[in-house]
Amino acid sequence: MYRDFPENKGPIFYIFMAFLYRLFRSNYSIAVFFANGFIDAISIFFLCKLLEKKQLFRLPTKRLKDFLTLKKLKDFLTLFFLILYYKSFSIGMYLGGFYSETLAFCFLLICLYQQENKADFWSGFFFALACLCRPTVVFFFLYILIRYLFSEKPQKKMVFLASAISAGLVVMTYLFIKGDLYYFFKNQILLSLIYPRTVKDKYFSTILYTSILELRIFLSLIFVTFVGGGYLLNQKNKKKEKTIFISLLISSLASTFVGGVFYFHHFVQFTFLVIFCWFILVKFWSKSPLRNFFSFTIVIYLVVGCLCYFFSDYKWDLASRIFLDRYLNGPDSKKYLFVFPHYSKFYFDYNKEAPDRYFQFFYLSSVYNQAADTDREIHSKADRERIKNTVFLFISRHEVEQSLKEEYLGYFKEKFGLNKIDSYQKNSLRLEIYYADPPGN
């Protein structure tokens, strides 16, 4: 698995993506709709069940007549808010459509629900799956451990640990048998440790930039600060409840913001804390008329925000499809594809492989990898017949991607004999097609 491509996602995520590919082949949009719909439905269901267990929320009634009256309107609006808020952080079709955070968050919610339901074996099993999708989920172990320590039977944590470790060992054994275990740890260490150190000067700036650009994140952080602060300062809340809340806060922050450059979809894991704080506020402020106005404002904002993201992504995709099809889907199209810098959905969409293990640019750039010289040396020795039979697609939407493109061409334009064949530009988006004619081939 990890011999063929350098990445830092967990193996369970790639197993799931392989299943989608087997099921839908190059029908990427259908695969994404299926995966998102299926996983989101499970996530929202277990989120509601978990909140119901904590007596913070009650699932809407199943009776049809209540759909036609205002009797349960509040419950349906609340459910609508949950779905919309969570979904607004994983709606980016262009960036991939289905993220490792999405699948990991689903497994994490099942894990927490099973723990609440005292099914410790299954809780540990699903926690292992979550960590093996998105390794940063491991920080939620603090929250889970604190919940066990304050439970009626803290010794049950051993069942949880045994199940989680066993599931992890099964996956590690599989990777060992396939000869991928060394590459798995190498990828995890390289991108999870070296990458954050390389981009540390951009770390806080990207968090600030993304939080301002994505107003939902900024409002969510402010919201958690005020509601969480009020919850901890409230003398009526017990020490146990405050300790569990602090552990959830630390786990959410660590799993969301640790690592390299911050992107909005990393916030998926933080949504549980925000939603938890929302219900704390609702419970505390249940008799205030301002609550309804506040709820209405948030929901309207998220509806507009989600629609803007959804239609802007599809507008881009449709506008460039004819240009891409000409080179990637025609009868004379080349067998392999190299997409720059990291839009891997196109491999799936056009049913093409990369010419070597470097299907994206992170490992080949000094901006992201302190050991880039080693990987560039390996990439420069790629099979020349494959390189010649490859379409090089360069995508630039801003100055950073443009500079990364120039860095790549500076190293490999002469080595691979790269020549620009065609280009397409719309607003800030620029697509460029290069063909290779390696010297001495």
Question: What is the CB-side half-sphere exposure of residue 385 using CA atoms within 13 A?
Answer: 0
Share of the chain above pLDDT 70, in %: 73
Residue 270: which of 101, 59, 134 has the closest Cα? 101
pLDDT of residue 128: 92
347 close to 25: Cβ distance less than 8 angstroms: no
378, 337, 408, 11 alpha-carbon torsion, rounded to 10°: -60
pLDDT of residue 302: 53
Residue 171: which of 112, 211, 125 has the closest Cα? 125
| CA distances, 188 to each of 238, 253, 260 (Å) | 40, 20, 13
Residue 87: which of 271, 296, 282 has the closest Cα? 271
Mean pLDDT of 41-54: 81
CA distance 336 to 354: 5
Mean pLDDT of 411-440: 86
| CA distances, 417 to each of 149, 406, 408, 411 (Å) | 62, 15, 13, 11
Is 337 strand, coil or helix? strand
Judge whether residue 310 has pLDDT over 60.
no
Residue 338 CA, distance from chain mean position: 22
Judge whether residue 438 has pLDDT over 70.
yes
CA distance 340 to 328: 14
Burial code (b: 16+ CB inside 10 Å, e: under 16) for 113-144 equals bbbbeebbebbbbbbbbbbbbbbbbbbbbbbb
Residue with the larger pLDDT of the pair 406 and 76: 406
Judge whether residue 58 has pLDDT over 70.
no
368 burial level (CB within 10 Å; 0-12, 13-18, 19+): buried
CA distance 55 to 187: 42
CA distance 96 to 106: 17
pLDDT of residue 363: 77
pLDDT of residue 315: 46
Burial code (b: 16+ CB inside 10 Å, e: under 16) for 416-427 equals bbbeeeeeeeee
Mean pLDDT of 232-249: 85
pLDDT of residue 373: 83
R_g (Cα) of the chain, nearest Å = 24
Query: How confident is the model over 250-309, as pLDDT tens digits?
Result: 988 888 877 656 666 777 888 888 888 877 776 666 554 545 555 555 555 555 555 554
* 16-21 CB contacts, 8 Å cutoff, 24+ apart: 16/103, 16/133, 17/98, 20/98, 21/348
Structure token digits, residue 1: 């698995």
pLDDT of residue 222: 83
pLDDT of residue 89: 72
Q: Is the pTM of this model over 0.85?
A: no
Mean pLDDT of 48-75: 62
Mean pLDDT of 150-158: 78
Give the chain's mean pLDDT: 76
Give the model's confidence band at 60: pLDDT under 50 very low, under 70 low, under 90 confident, else very high.
low
Q: Pairing between strand 429-436 and 418-426?
A: antiparallel
Element spanning 294, H or E: helix 290-328
Task: Mean pLDDT check: name the lowest of 114-118, 189-193, 310-314, 373-377.
Answer: 310-314
- Tell me how many degrees the CA angle 154-155-156 measures, rounded to the nearest 5: 90
pLDDT of residue 305: 52
Judge whether residue 314 has pLDDT over 50.
no
CA distance 139 to 373: 32
CA distance 7 to 22: 21
Query: How confident is the model over 352-405, as pLDDT tens digits?
Result: 888 888 877 777 887 777 777 888 888 888 888 999 999 898 888 777 788 888
pLDDT of residue 158: 86
pLDDT of residue 5: 60
pLDDT of residue 303: 58
Is 69 strand, coil or helix? coil
Mean pLDDT of 162-170: 89
Residue with the larger pLDDT of the pair 26 and 38: 38
Helices (DSSP H) in 25-93: which residue ranges? 28-53, 73-87
Residue with the larger pLDDT of the pair 141 and 73: 141
pLDDT of residue 311: 52
Structure token digits, residue 149: 């320590």
Give the model's confidence band at 313: pLDDT under 50 very low, under 70 low, under 90 confident, else very high.
very low
Torsional sign, CA 431, 262, 36, 180: positive
Judge whether residue 133 has pLDDT over 60.
yes
pLDDT of residue 198: 52
Give the model's confidence band at 441: pLDDT under 50 very low, under 70 low, under 90 confident, else very high.
low
What pairs with residue 390 in β-bridges? 336
Judge whether residue 92 has pLDDT over 90.
no
Give the model's confidence band at 126: pLDDT under 50 very low, under 70 low, under 90 confident, else very high.
very high
